Amino acid sequence: MTDYSTRFGLLPVSDAQIWHCIAPLPGFAELQRFALLHVQEQGPFLWLQSLEEPLIAFLLVAPDHFGLHYPQRPHFAAQETDGTSMVMVILPQKANEALQANALAPLYFLPGTRRFGQWIVEHAEPNPAHVSTAKTPPATLNAPLIHLGLSRQNAVASALAMGAA
């Protein structure tokens, strides 16, 4: 267990909770190690926290929360049998704006190996008939999640106020 500085404070992270980026995030290619953080009060949303840059964290959710579907797999997961797509959430800049998804650059997580990457798609398939109302993140990502308790709520609120990376 190693303690890492994050935008949520100092967090103990075990090797089994570290995700390795195998298809670098554009603009963040030097960042390779991340942790997935979940705050129960934030329902289905997760934070992808860089373990190399404490202030870099991205808010994620399953694509079906925005009525999106990705039938294809990214090139780096062509031989994999299981994986989970997530999209980055774009936080509103004004009080009356809604959350948006970065629909053309989803992330694909491979839970069995704790690897993930981002890939660019030409279009996301809208699936408005299957908009999710789930209150929790995808079950496939539960094992390596770091659950933040109530004592971290102020740090989380502050992180939300600053916006994702």
pTM: 0.86
Distance, in Å, from the CA atom of 119 to the CA atom of 75, rounded to the nearest integer, reads 8
* pLDDT confidence of residue 30: 96
Nearest to 71 by CA among 117, 129, 125: 125
Q: Please give the average per-residue pLDDT across 90-102, as a whole number.
A: 89
The structural domains of the chain, ordered by start, are: 2-162 (2.30.290.10)
* pLDDT confidence of residue 48: 97
Element (H, E) at 153: helix 153-162
* pLDDT confidence of residue 92: 86
* pLDDT confidence of residue 162: 53
pLDDT digits 0-9 by tens, 11-31: 999 999 999 999 889 999 999
